[in-house]
């Protein structure tokens, strides 16, 4: 990357605040076939369980879709605080959890669990507690069986990769708590309401098991004589069975690692480190000649390739709206041609809160922020900065310290780093320590998608 002083100054700015929102519906309407398959699934899913649960929207404006995934058509929008009757849940092929809800009296819809929360209790109406159906997938199905502990679990996987697990829990199994204290929740996941707390050595009757959206197993227990609850399996064990290894806390904390301005001579090194830790990240790329294979490698290894700029030249990009789109379209089309990815995820050079753009066109950022959103793009700033753009090869210890101080108590973090070659060698060197630190703090790592939480700087 050619040297760019403005960029370095701007990229160093730390996010002022976080705005969570979701922008406009952009997906074209699809035919009815998705709905048909999904309705079949719900009939089965609803059979043994009566839900008194409610889905409350937590994102600012959330797309309601015809199926559990961003590739389903958008059938409407729901704003923050609205609540809907919960119908069922399902993980899509990317492992993301979606909730089905009663959208209108006549229509059902789906929202991403990352932008909503489930409240209330689920009551099992099956005649015995020995059997519980947890998730049901669409047909056609393939069925596999295996043993989990001494329980028989039947898993069904449909072509989209959604897994159904039906547990035949033995009636006389006992869950022993090994953590201290352990939260008891209303559902199988850390995002469910805490209904109580228990402590080491306490024993409960096992009612069932279920995996949450992060793949963690939860035990359903008879918490009190009248109440059931869920505990995470890493903090408890089933009496008489081998104990699971000691847990790592996640608490639903998510880290989005982001690398701007690449690809570069560092790209492969960064990818190797990410692979080593089994971590997915996001690369906001610019155009560089002779680096085709690196753009492709980012995608091949399962990361998100996102758009930064073709030229990274502020005098062109921020001169006018037209100038901005000329540049954005060029990098969009280059990435699409090179990798096959039609990316809708962007980061403005300098971030959306940059003020240098005023030099070229006063107020242009306000125009661009609303314009890109209307045009179906999702723009991301950051709320943790490594500070690697404040100079050439900023000390590794300084980069790590910057991340640590930036993280604070944030639940969702978007960490800004750069993939710009020789001057950012220390970013590569600091990366393993940064990942280890965040893992220790309980973050799970995700690459950005169009459904991800938007970390956006406050309007200036």
Residues 349-408 that bind Zn ion (CB under 5 A): 349
Nearer residue to Zn ion within complex by CB, 235 or 317: 317
- Minimum gap (Å) between residue 140 Cβ and Zn ion: 47
Residues 166-185 that bind Zn ion (CB under 5 A): none
Q: Which helix (H) or strand (E) holds 332?
A: helix 321-339
Number of residues that bind Zn ion (CB under 5 A): 4
Q: What is the CA radius of gyration of the chain?
A: 24
Residues 314-343 that bind Zn ion (CB under 5 A): none
CA dihedral 403, 405, 409, 411 (to 10 degrees): -20
CA 189, chain centre distance (Å)? 15
Nearer residue to Zn ion within complex by CB, 166 or 304: 304
Strand 151-157 with 163-168, pairing: antiparallel
Residues 5-44 that bind Zn ion (CB under 5 A): 7
- Of 112-120, 187-195, 257-265, 292-300, the window that binds Zn ion (rule: CB under 5 A) is 257-265
CA torsion sign, 22 to 367 to 339 to 393?
A: negative
Q: Rule CB under 5 A: is residue 261 a binding residue for Zn ion?
A: yes
**In b/e form, how buried is each residue of 370-408, taking b as 16+ CB within 10 angstroms?**
eebbeeebbbbbbbbbbbbbbeeebebebbbebbeebbe
- Minimum gap (Å) between residue 418 Cβ and Zn ion: 7
- Minimum gap (Å) between residue 406 Cβ and Zn ion: 18
Nearer residue to Zn ion within complex by CB, 261 or 451: 261
Backbone phi and psi for residue 324, each to the nearest 5 degrees, phi listed first: -65, -50
- Minimum gap (Å) between residue 7 Cβ and Zn ion: 5
- Of 79-87, 128-136, 347-355, 408-416, the window that binds Zn ion (rule: CB under 5 A) is 347-355
Among 38, 158, 212, 260, binds Zn ion (CB under 5 A): 260
CA 168, chain centre distance (Å)? 31
- Minimum gap (Å) between residue 327 Cβ and Zn ion: 12
Nearer residue to Zn ion within complex by CB, 13 or 400: 13
- Minimum gap (Å) between residue 124 Cβ and Zn ion: 53
What are the angstrom distances between the C-alpha of 432 and each of 66, 104, 133, 274, 429? 40, 48, 41, 8, 7
Q: Which residues bind Zn ion (CB under 5 A)?
A: 7, 260-261, 349
């Amino acid at each position: 990357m050619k040297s760019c002083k403005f960029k370095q100054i701007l990229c160093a700015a730390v996010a002022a605040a976080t705005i969570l929102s979701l922008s406009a519906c952009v997906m074209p309407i699809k035919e009815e076939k998705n709905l048909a398959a999904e309705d079949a699934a719900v009939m089965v899913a609803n059979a043994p369980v009566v839900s008194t649960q409610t889905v409350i929207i937590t994102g600012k404006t959330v797309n309601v879709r015809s199926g559990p995934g961003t590739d389903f058509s958008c059938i409407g929008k729901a704003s923050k605080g609205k609540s809907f009757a919960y119908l069922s849940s399902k993980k899509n092929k990317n492992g993301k959890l979606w909730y089905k809800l009663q959208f209108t009296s006549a229509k059902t819809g789906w929202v991403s669990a990352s932008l909503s929360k489930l409240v209330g209790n689920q009551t099992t109406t099956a005649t015995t507690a020995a059997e519980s159906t947890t998730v049901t997938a669409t047909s056609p199905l393939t069925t596999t069986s295996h043993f989990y502990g001494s329980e028989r679990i039947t898993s069904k996987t449909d072509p989209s990769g959604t897994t159904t697990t039906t547990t035949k829990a033995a009636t006389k199994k006992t869950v022993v708590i090994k953590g201290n204290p352990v939260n008891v929740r209303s559902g199988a996941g850390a995002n469910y309401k805490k209904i109580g707390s228990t402590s080491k050595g306490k024993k409960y009757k096992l009612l069932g098991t279920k995996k949450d959206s992060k793949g963690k197993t939860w035990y359903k227990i008879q918490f009190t004589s009248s109440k059931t609850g869920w505990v995470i399996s890493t903090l408890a064990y089933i009496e008489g069975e081998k104990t699971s290894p000691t847990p790592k806390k996640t608490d639903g904390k998510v880290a989005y690692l982001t690398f701007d301005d690449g690809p570069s001579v560092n790209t492969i090194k960064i990818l190797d480190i990410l692979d080593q830790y089994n971590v997915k990240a996001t690369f906001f790329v610019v155009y560089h000649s002779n680096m085709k294979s690196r753009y492709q490698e980012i995608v091949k290894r399962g990361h998100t390739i996102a758009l930064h700029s073709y030229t990274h030249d502020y005098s062109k990009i921020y001169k006018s709206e037209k100038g901005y789109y000329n540049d954005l379209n060029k990098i969009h089309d280059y990435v699409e041609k090179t990798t096959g990815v039609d990316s809708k995820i962007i980061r403005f050079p300098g971030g959306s809160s940059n003020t240098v753009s005023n030099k070229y066109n006063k107020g242009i950022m306000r125009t661009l922020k609303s314009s890109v959103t209307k045009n179906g793009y999702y723009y991301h700033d950051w709320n943790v900065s490594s500070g690697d753009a404040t100079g050439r090869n900023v000390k590794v210890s300084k980069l790590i310290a910057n991340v640590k101080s930036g993280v604070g108590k944030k639940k969702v973090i978007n960490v800004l780093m750069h993939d710009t070659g020789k001057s950012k060698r220390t970013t590569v060197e600091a990366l393993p320590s940064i990942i280890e630190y965040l893992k220790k703090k309980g973050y799970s790592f995700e690459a950005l998608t169009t459904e991800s939480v938007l970390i956006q700087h406050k309007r200036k």
